[in-house]
Every structure is written in structure tokens, then in C-alpha cells.
Structure 1
Amino acid sequence: MELIWLEDYLALADALNFSRAASARHVTQPAFSRRIRALEDWIGAPLFIRTTHSVALTPAGEQFRNQAEVLTRALHQLRRDTLEVAGRGAGPLSIAATHALSFTFFPKWVRGNEKILALGTLNLISDSMQACEQMMLRGDVQFLLCHHHPNISSRLETSQFKSIVVGADTLVPLSAPDQDGAPRWRLERTAPVRYLGYSEQSGLGRIIAGLRGAADRSFALETVFTSHLAATLLSMARAGDGVAWLPRTLAEEDMSLGRLVQAGDPGLAIPIEIRLFRPAARQGPIAEAVWAAFERS
């Protein structure tokens, strides 16, 4: 049994595609397939159903998933703790953060908590919400910074993790203005509005899809583009390509300069939290000291 087999399994369980999973693991697809088969041989049962066009977890594969995540996370933590005890150091503390927060909130937040930096070096890893969740689930990072809404579930909302609120934000529907300063695209009961949406990897996309799906809207949206990057949607909204729900922390400069204006009633804005997640299990002394400092601040 090798740790790399567990990491390969989790990559395939997430992607459900051998090519994408092998690419994420930086290995050729034949070598990746051999390692998945080696894990299944060690367990003694198939974990995946393979067809010509699709991959799915077997019931045994579903059963294996949660404990594989727990075990992988625990092994990474065990290594870090052992290195600290041996006086070899645990290396920098890693924080995964979604792209939108990496560009705007994180730099100001860290500058406002300089005493935390004195406790250890922080390594920021910026990616989509889906990728950040995967890093946290596998133990590749000690902390995860993301947008969050209480009514939208996350893969980290289990007894295996805990979190604190470290900030607040608002998702605002924004459009470029017309020559009179009114929104070029307005959310109202007329023709469908061009919508710049988030892809499935995006945590902001989950929030908007969950809340929009539950609401009785008086307007229709026509999705013309999707991306997991809020910054990309901001650029397209600024260019007049449609309406996008954007974090105020990201769009506040464009709003103040009049390059973006609200595309509808203020009640269409969505208040959201900025949360910091961590594993519930005790981590090393430095990570615990940093967490305690975050809680106090």
C-alpha cells in the first residue's frame, strides 16, 4: 500500500475521468491507470466502473472515499508533526484561497494581522473553490480561505473541519453603464438578459445557482459565457458583454469610478461571509498558534 495510490484514487474520484486525473497528478495516463489497478488489487475489490465513455464509483468506491480522505490528511499531518519534533521544521504553512479573495481580500487581511506572520511563513495557493476543497480534503494545506453562504452546503461542512468568519462581502449584479450612466443590461421583466456566469468549479457559482434557483425571479437570464474566475467575468462585464454577480471586494474600484453599475434592484445583491477553514483534528504547534491568532483577531 502506498500513499500515492490514495492520492491517485481521490483525484480520479473527483474528476471521474482518467485523462484529467492523470494530468492533475502529473503522470501519464497508462502509469496512472496501473496505480489505480494496483490499489484495487490491494483492496480486493473494484473501486471504479469503467466504460468506453465514462467512469463512476462503485458502491465499494463510495465507501472507501471518506476514509481515504481522512487517512491521507492524517498521514500528511503526521509527517509535518514528526518533522517539527525532529527539529527539521515543518516548512511554510499553506493557505489555499479562491482566486477572487487572493487578489483583493487576502493581502489586506494579512497586512492587518502582521503578528500572525511572525509565527511562521505563509504560503498562499490560489485556485478555484473545487481545487481548494480538494487540497484541504487531502491535507495538502492547513487552511482554506473562501466565500461562504450559510444556506449553501460545502464539502468541508462536516465534523472533520471547523471554520471562523474573518470577513464579509456582497455579490452584486453589475453591468457596464450606457452613455447616460444607466445599466446597459438591466435585470427586469423584459427580454432575457445576457448573463456572465460561473462554471461548476466556482464556489461563487454554487452560491448564486443555489439562491437563484430558490428565488422567484421576475427576469430571465441567457448565459453567454462561464468562467471560474471572477476577474474574467469582471473584465467582460466592464466591456459591456452582460451582467455578472461580482464580489464587492473585487469590483469596488470599478463601481466607485462608474465603470460598473448595479444592474437591478439592491435587493438582488447577496450578502456572503468570508470564512477560514481548517481540519478539526489538532495540527502542529505553529499551525495551532496561527489559528489561535486568527481567532483572536
Structure 2
Amino acid sequence: MEFKWLDDFMSLMELGNFSAAAKARHVTQSAFSRRIQALELWVGVPLFDRTSYPITLTEHGKKFVPYVENLLEMIKVTKEDFSQASLKTDNSVRIVCLHSFAVNLMPRLFREAGVLLDGLNLALNPSVQGIDNHFQALLDNSNDILLAYNTKGMRPSFLLEDQVERRLVLKEKIIPVASPELLESIPQGGSYPYLAYSEHTFLFNVVAPLTEQMQLPLEQVFETTLSESLIKMAVSGMGIAWAPLHAIESELEQGTLVQAFPERSELAIPLDIVCYRAKGATRPAVEQFWQGIGEVVAQSASNN
């Protein structure tokens, strides 16, 4: 049983309509209906009389109400207690982002922001697992800031998009790179060893359509979920990888990686990095971070 099913139950009981309840719960009607059915299956009895309009509770449903109310109250109190504990201090800003952002991008942003972020305790969680859960965490005040690529699979659903606000952090590109030694060793007309993202990663969905469409002479030899792993493999001369520019700046400067197929600009994929917060987030620390990042972005744009 999932706790969100209890809120679904209360919403449908109060509104008496699947469509209205689904909208209130920020999910599609079909997904909401499946969740109510799953709850009834877990309880073992029908909770709603679907033959009436508005939809009403069955006798079993009426008996179930006080149990749900007690459980939701316990969950609320527990969440509030631990949400406040996670803040530690009023100057804490809780940030969720990809691992590559935490390793390569965030230190640079914090350095460039300088005094704009003075006094803040930045709590960084490098894990994006289930993007909808992270957007919901913003709305529930369990997290303050979410950094993500502005691409399909990492944007808020249409049911949540009007409850969060977005700010550009960096105009990014994903480019094909390899060690110069590897590129020199491939004979003309030969195939290139290819270092790929695993299928269940969002960057796979960004890169794979391009490599398939362009029909490049690539032979996959490795796959992983981490950009950092692909980059290290590429530096070692093991193959060509598509990597975010923010993650390979030093390798490009040092010449341990070079752009593959530099004459083919269409193989570079533009992909902006953005940050989100809940609309109406009023904590001064979150506002200071939001405005600070905005000034960093504006300054960077004026210098380019």
C-alpha cells in the first residue's frame, strides 16, 4: 500500500468525482482510477459506489474513513517533524541534482556566486530518482531547489507546471568526444567503439535518437548510467562518448579529450540546465539562493 492512496481516497470522498479528484491530486484520471482500484484491492473490499453520482462511499468505505484520517494525521506530524529537522538551520537550502551536476557544475556555480550565497548552508543531494517525486517534494517543502536538464522526462508534468517556477542556469551542449589517440588509430571508413548511456537514463533518450538518425559507424562496447564513467572511459581511449560540456572542461583544455566529428555541428545536442522551486517559496534562504543564481546567470550572459 502506498501512502498517497490515502490522500486519493479522501479526495474522491470529498469531491465525489474521479475527474475532479484526479485534477486535485495532480495526476491523470486513468492513473488516479488505477490507484483507487489498487487501494480497494489492498483493503479487500469496494470502498466507493460507482453507480451513484456523485460517487459515494460504500458501507466498507465509511468504516475505512477514521482509519485513513488517523493514518494521515500521523504521517503529517511525522513529515513535519523530520522536514524541520532536515533544515538544521533557517539558512539551509536543500538542493537535489544529478550526480554530474554535484561533481562538476555546482562547485563552479557556488564559486562564481561568491558573496551572493554568503551565510547559506547548501545541502546537496546528488540523486534524481523519479523526477515527479522530486517536483512533489518541492511542493511539500521537503526540498527547496531542483536542478535538471530542460528536456522531456525531466520537466514537471502539466498538472504540476503551474505550481513551480523555473530559472535558466546554463546553456549546455552534449558533444561527442574521444581521446586524440583513439581518433588517430581508426582507419578511414572504420567503425568507432561507442560508449553509451544505459537505456533507463534520460541522456540515453537524448543521445540514442541522434546516433540512430545519423547512422554513424558506431559499435557499442560499453554502457553505464553515469556521465563520469563514460568520460573516464573516453579519456582512457576506450571509445567515443557524448558528454556534457560542463563535465569535460578540464579534459578539453588539457587535450585528453577532443571533439569527435568536429566538422558535423549537428552532432552537438543543445540542452539547457534549469533550476526549479515551488511558487510562493518564502524562506529568505531560498530567495537568496534563487536571486544569487539569477545574478550569476545574468553576469555570465553579459560576458559572452
TM-score band, normalised by shorter chain: 0.5 to 0.7
- Map of 2:214 onto structure 1: 217
The 3-state SS of whatever aligns with 2:203 is helix
Q: Which residue type is aligned with residue 156 of structure 1?
A: P
- Map of 1:226 onto structure 2: 223
Q: CA deviation at 1:237?
A: 1.1
Q: CA deviation at 1:163?
A: 1.2
Runs of 4+ more than 6 Å apart: 36-39
Identity of aligned residues (%): 23
The TM-score normalised by the length of structure 2 is 0.60
Q: CA deviation at 1:170?
A: 1.9
Q: Are 1:237 and 2:234 counterparts?
A: yes
Q: CA separation in 2, counterparts of 1:8 and 1:101? A: 35
Query: Larger radius of gyration, structure 1 or 2?
Result: 2
Contact 2:196–2:204 (CA under 8 A) maintained in structure 1? yes
Q: 1:44 to 1:117 in 2, by over 3 A?
A: farther
- Map of 2:121 onto structure 1: 121
Q: CA offsets, 1:158-194, max 9 Å, x none?
A: 323321111222211111222xx844459x8x45432
Q: CA deviation at 1:196?
A: 1.0
Q: CA deviation at 1:211?
A: 4.4
- Map of 1:62 onto structure 2: none
Contact 1:95–1:144 (CA under 8 A) maintained in structure 2? yes
Q: CA deviation at 1:41?
A: 2.9
**Which consecutive residues of structure 1, in runs of 5 or more, have no partner in the other structure?**
10-35, 46-70
Matched residue count: 228
Q: CA offsets, 1:174-219, max 9 Å, x none?
A: 11222xx844459x8x454322111245333332235445xx4142
The TM-score normalised by the length of structure 1 is 0.62
Q: CA separation in 2, counterparts of 1:258 and 1:182? A: 13
Contact 1:104–1:250 (CA under 8 A) maintained in structure 2? yes
- Map of 2:248 onto structure 1: 251
Q: Which residue type is aligned with residue 173 of structure 2?
A: T
Q: CA deviation at 1:292?
A: 3.1
- Map of 1:175 onto structure 2: 178
Contact 2:148–2:154 (CA under 8 A) maintained in structure 1? no
Higher fraction of helix: 2
Equivalences for 1:59-208 in 2 at 5 Å?
Answer: 79=80, 89-90=89-90, 92-127=92-127, 129-131=128-130, 134-139=133-138, 140-149=142-151, 152-156=152-156, 158-178=161-181, 182-184=183-185, 190-208=189-207
Q: CA separation in 2, counterparts of 1:273 and 1:241? A: 28
The 3-state SS of whatever aligns with 2:255 is coil
